[in-house]
Each structure stands twice: as C-alpha cells, then as structure tokens.
Structure 1
Amino acid sequence: MSETVEPAKRPARKLWNYTPALPLRLAPYWDWPMRPLASVLYLLKSWNPIAMRFVMLLAAIATWLWFTPDIEQAKTIAFGWIFEVWLRNFLILTGVAGGLHLFLLRFSLQGDDYRYDMRPMARGAKVFTFRNQVYDNMFWSFAALQFWTFWECLMWWSYANGWATMITFESHPVWFILLIVLVPVWAGFHFYWLHRLLHVGKLYTIVHAWHHKNINTGPWSGLAMHPVESFFLMFDTMIFFVLPAHPVHVIFLLFHHGIGAPTSHAGFERLKVGGRDSFEVGDFFHQLHHRFFDCNYGTWETPWDRWFRTFHDGTPEGDAEIKQRRMRLWSKT
C-alpha cells in the first residue's frame, strides 16, 4: 500500500527586504501613565544633529537668510519675488527627490542596503500617467510644487501687510524655540486628520487613490497626489494666522511636506555615503500604510492610530491583525 505524500508547502514569501527594529513603537509623549523622562529623552534623540528633523531646521534657517526675498517686496503681488520663491522651491524639490532617486534607485549607489521593498518602480502600467511610475510621480510632484509656493507666498504677503503677526528671536526667544519644537507635532496633527478624511468614501476613490497607486514608493512618490490633496497638504501653514511666528517657522513647516514627503517615501531606511551609515531618510511606519492601506494613518509622534486601533507595529502579528480587521469590515458590507 503506497504512502500518501503530502505536497510540499510553498515557503512564505518574504514581505520586506529590510525592516528597522520591531515592533515599532510610538513616541512616549502620549503614554499613560505619563513618562516625562522617557518623553524628554525621546525628544532629544529626535533632534540629534544627524536627524532629518534637525537637517530640515538648518535648511529652513539657511533658506530664510539667503534664499528668500525681502518681506518688504511682498507688500504687492508681483511676478519677480513670487518667481524667486517658486524657482528656489523647484530646485529644492528637484535636488532632494531627484537626488535621492538617482542615488538610491537610478545608480543604486548603496545597493539594496536598508531597502524596504525590492520591487522596482512600475513601467508599462496603465494606472500611472505616461504608463511609468517615476514619470507619473515627477509630474504630480511638480504640480504639488505650485501649491507649496502658493501657501508660502501667501504668508509672505500676509506678513508684509500685517495680516499675520511676525516675531523675532530677540523679541520672543522662549516662544521662538518652543514653536520650533511644536511645529513637527502640529504637522503630524494636520497630516493625520487630513489623511484620515481622505480615506473616506469618494474622497478616497476620487482623490487619495491617486497617491495609493504607489504601493511601493520612491522619493518622487511623496508629493505625487491629486491636486486637491496637494492643495490641502500644506494648508496647515494657516496656523500662523493665529499664532505669532517667524518666517523660519513657516519654512520649517513647509519643509515637513516639501522635503519630508520625498525623504519619508524614499523606500530606504538610511543613506550610506562613502560606505558608512549617514542618516535616516525613510519611514517604515508610513511604508506599512502604503502596503496595507488601512493602518498607520498618522506619524509615530501622534497617538490616534493607537487610540483608534489602526496602529501596525510591523510584526507578522500586526500583519495578521490588519487582515482580520479587513475581514470584519468586509463582512459588514
């Protein structure tokens, strides 16, 4: 009597080429009971000199000092100073997104080290403009550039004409520094609630689905979105009509989108320059959102994903939890 031979099980497909240390953890600011010491230490770590946040702050200061028109020019709407702002933003976006794309993907100068998803950028896919993911992403990123420039120029015009209150470090040193610390928190607050809204009904199918074509992301994917979404992405700048601020704060907040989106979508955790680890660029927390859609709507500094049970910690157990939640949702439809 012949023995029954069971078919060999197909080995599980490896989901990620690289992940940071798992499980992912949210910032301790929102833990209960409160952990003030852990929160302070975490905050100091997030502001270390080679962190992207600190780099963006230095870039914002340099941009204000040397690459921004004099506010007095903005009293009247004129092509000259607006074009100057647009050109500078164009060069920043091209330098950051284009530079990362060339370094990480086009010339693969660090190979697959720290790369999350090994799949290449899509070509020949009808879902993308020009049937090419990179060309699609570049086109819509440059569309988003127009709104980046619009919100920035609106703030300069408002400061010049007294519609918004402009402070200096000399006049308000404590508030100036505190506001720098609060800008990333505000950016995360705005991003979560806008992003969560865009996952509802027709706002998703008509608007946000454009961005989610990018299941596997690259540097140009960060700002590749429907114009309605890119218009409201930087709407959080309007907080400075309420809060007195300095132009450095405005530029720093805008850089969270204009620079932060390309770097967080880079698809690599870290950059290696000269064979050495340099600094973090990617965001595995958000990479999980692009892969699984209905999780990690915010950032690792905001608490709502944990509170509303949409937090994915990156582990296989987290994958299973996401699948179970989807099945529960589908069973109700």
Structure 2
Amino acid sequence: MMGQGEDVPMSREWNYQPDLPLADPSIFRWPPDPAFLIRWFARHWLMLSERVMMVMLAILLYLTAYPSLEAAQSFGVGWVLQVWAVNMGLVIVIAGGLHWYFYLRQGQGRRLKFDHKDQAKGNRLWNFADQVHDNMFWSLTSGVAQLTGWQVVTMWLMANGYAPVISFAAHPVWFVLALILIPIWSAFHFYWVHRLLHVPFLYKRVHALHHRNVNIGPWSGLSMHPVEHFLYFSSLAIHWIVASHPIHLIFHVIYEGPGAVMSHTGYEDLLVRDKRRLALGTFYHQLHHRYYECNYGNQEMPWDRWFGTFHDGTEAGTKDTRARKKRMHRQ
C-alpha cells in the first residue's frame, strides 16, 4: 500500500515530500554511531542498491565496451571515439529511458514526484523553447564530450605510468575500499565546486544555466554550462594521484555522468509493484533547485549542516534560506 502523500498532493508547494524535517543520514556523525554505520553500509553495499548496480555495469563495460589501457598508450581517433560512443550511449539510454518511463509513458503517474508541474514547453527561456530539448542539447554535446575528455586523459595517464594503477589480485582490500570511497569523494568535491559556482560572478555567467531547471527531470542532471561541466567532472582527477584500477575510473564516470541523470529524475524512487526498488532523486537536492542558496552538497556529507546552509524542508527552513539569500544579494 502506498504511503500518505504518494497518491495525493502533500502541500501547495509540493506534489510529494518525505517526512519532515529531513533526517540526518550523514555517516560523519559525532560521536560515531556504529549501528548506524553498519545499517548504512548494508543498505548501500550489501543489497542491490544503485551503487552496486553501477559497479556491476562498470565491470561489464570494462570487459566488453571500453578500450583497454594498452590501446590508450597513445592518443588515437579510434579508441577516443570508442569511449565517446559508449558514454553517449549510456547517457541516451539512461536519461532517455527514465524520461520515457516517468514523463512520456507516465509509468508511475505522479507517485513520489516532488513537483506539481510538468516540464516547460513554449518558453523562450530555453533553447528551442523547450526544457527537455534544451537539457538534451547541453547533456549530449558539452556533457558527454567533457566526461569523455576527462576519462580519456585519465586512461592515457594510467596507460603510460603517470597515474598509479593497481590490480585486484595485488591489492584486494584497497580495490574494494576505493569503490566505497569514490561516492564519498565525489560528494566532498561536489560541495566545494558547487559553492564556488554560487559565487555571484560564476553563478550569473555559468551556473544559472543549470538552475533554470527549477522543476527537474532526467535530462536536467547533465544540463550545464561547459565551464560547469569542466569543474564538475574534475572529480575524476583523483585517479591521477590515488592508485586505482580502470574499473574504479569507469564506476566514477558512471557515478558522475549517468548518476547525475538518475538523481535528477524529479522522483524520489522507482516503484515496482508499489514497492520502492531504486533510489533516484532526493528531496534534499530538490530543495536546492527550488530555493537556490541551500543544500549545496548532498546528504552524505555534513557540510551544509556545519556551515549553516542546510534546508530541512520545513517552512522555517524556507524562511531562513530566503533571508540568507537576501543577505547575500546585499553584499
């Protein structure tokens, strides 16, 4: 049976919202809570979570689709285009599939959809006067190209011994630990890059393009200005200095690229037979798209709570965020 608010609007502001105020799911709590850490690890890594599926996909693509490191020892059109084609296919299949299911087929109706509204059409704010077409343009041009560029350079560095490479056989513990740490590193990197992009000079010229998506959908996740794409994908540079395997790189690529698509569906979860089967968007980030100057990071890192930019979803949180926004604009 569906819970309250999954079939009917929860408020004037939202079609659906989780229980408020938002809980604190960050693993960086003090004092440490071993029981919570065990539950967090089990939920993300000991069941078929979105992260486990991404790792499985990374292994499959490593074995079947991406070129080998041997091929990447010297730059060549063939293997670079191969990486680009795989990334293009991933984004089209995942973003296009989610958009088709949620917005064209209406496979879940409005259950667990945050925003009341549909995505915009006939508005000249968007290229092609269409939000989805605009988002597709930025995602499939600059988005796929820059994701590919960072991956290609990293593969070349690995192939030529400029970036440290490990094998599972030689370093099994670090191999597994690195998979767990990549999303945590990504969250840390995202928060600080995101704060930088909200500096007024960069926000007006760069980040405002992404923030046109107040009501987000799958194609919104990678719809960014080219400068933002460059900064966002620079998370992959960690592989230049920290020992990893090509599978780690591919997992990281999937997490940053298609992962952003999944987190911007506009729905909290994918339902299968009325049961939540796949975590997608978070109300935490949906609040950022609605109110801008809050929730710059994600729930896994504590920065927004520590630095006073956390919006807990309540009316009081909205008032605090609007007051902070006014103070910022007066500076």
TM-score of the alignment, normalized to the shorter chain, above 0.5: yes
Query: Residue 192 of structure 1 corresponds to which residue in structure 2?
Result: 191
Q: Any conservation in 1 of the 2:236–2:253 contact (CA below 8 Å)?
A: yes
**Rg larger for:** 1
Query: Residue 5 of structure 1 corresponds to which residue in structure 2?
Result: none
Q: Aligned pairs, how many?
A: 321
Query: 2-side partners of 1:164 and 1:95: how far apart?
Result: 31
Q: Any conservation in 2 of the 1:28–1:42 contact (CA below 8 Å)?
A: no
Correspondence 1:162 to 2:157: no
Q: Any conservation in 2 of the 1:296–1:310 contact (CA below 8 Å)?
A: yes
Q: What's the TM-score once normalised by structure 1's chain length?
A: 0.92
Query: 1-side partners of 2:18 and 2:300: how far apart?
Result: 17
Query: Residue 7 of structure 2 corresponds to which residue in structure 1?
Result: none
Aligned-CA RMSD value: 1.7
The 5 A counterparts of 1:234-253 are: 234-253=233-252
Q: Any conservation in 1 of the 2:163–2:240 contact (CA below 8 Å)?
A: yes
Query: 2-side partners of 1:168 and 1:141: how far apart?
Result: 33
Deviations 1:59-95 (A, max 9, x none): 1111112111121111111111111111111111001
User: Which letter maps to 1:314?
Assistant: G
The 5 A counterparts of 1:100-249 are: 100-142=98-140, 143-249=142-248
Q: Any conservation in 2 of the 1:28–1:35 contact (CA below 8 Å)?
A: no
Q: Any conservation in 2 of the 1:28–1:39 contact (CA below 8 Å)?
A: no
Runs of 4+ in 1 over 4 A off after TM superposition: 327-330
Query: Residue 282 of structure 1 corresponds to which residue in structure 2?
Result: 281
Query: 2-side partners of 1:25 and 1:277: how far apart?
Result: 19
Query: 2-side partners of 1:228 and 1:125: how far apart?
Result: 24
Query: Residue 83 of structure 1 corresponds to which residue in structure 2?
Result: 81
Deviations 1:90-120 (A, max 9, x none): 1110010000000000121111111110211
Q: Counterpart of 1:71 in 2: which secondary structure?
A: coil
Q: What's the TM-score once normalised by structure 2's chain length?
A: 0.93
Q: Any conservation in 2 of the 1:27–1:39 contact (CA below 8 Å)?
A: no
Query: Residue 300 of structure 1 corresponds to which residue in structure 2?
Result: 299
Query: 2-side partners of 1:21 and 1:71: how far apart?
Result: 47
Query: 1-side partners of 2:227 and 2:308: how far apart?
Result: 28
The 5 A counterparts of 1:22-101 are: 22-101=20-99
Identity in percent? 42
Q: Any conservation in 2 of the 1:141–1:225 contact (CA below 8 Å)?
A: yes
Query: 2-side partners of 1:100 and 1:177: how far apart?
Result: 29
Unaligned runs of 5+ in 1: 1-11
Query: 2-side partners of 1:29 and 1:120: how far apart?
Result: 34
Cα distance, 1:48 vs structure 2 = 4.3
Q: Any conservation in 2 of the 1:29–1:36 contact (CA below 8 Å)?
A: no
Moved more, 204-213 or 121-130: 121-130
User: Which letter maps to 2:58?
Assistant: A
Deviations 1:304-326 (A, max 9, x none): 10011111111233223223333
Query: Residue 267 of structure 1 corresponds to which residue in structure 2?
Result: 266
Q: Counterpart of 1:312 in 2: which secondary structure?
A: coil
Q: Counterpart of 2:13 in 1: which secondary structure?
A: coil
Q: Any conservation in 1 of the 2:157–2:163 contact (CA below 8 Å)?
A: yes
Query: 2-side partners of 1:153 and 1:131: how far apart?
Result: 34
Q: Any conservation in 2 of the 1:286–1:296 contact (CA below 8 Å)?
A: yes
Query: Residue 21 of structure 1 corresponds to which residue in structure 2?
Result: 19
Alpha carbons of 1:279 and 1:301: their partners in 2 closer, same or farther (altered >3 Å)?
same
Cα distance, 1:43 vs structure 2 = 2.5
Q: Counterpart of 1:29 in 2: which secondary structure?
A: coil
Query: 2-side partners of 1:247 and 1:147: how far apart?
Result: 18
Deviations 1:150-183 (A, max 9, x none): 1111111111111111111100011111111110
Query: 2-side partners of 1:206 and 1:26: how far apart?
Result: 33
User: Which letter maps to 1:320?
Assistant: K
Moved more, 294-303 or 33-42: 33-42
Alpha carbons of 1:49 and 1:174: their partners in 2 closer, same or farther (altered >3 Å)?
same
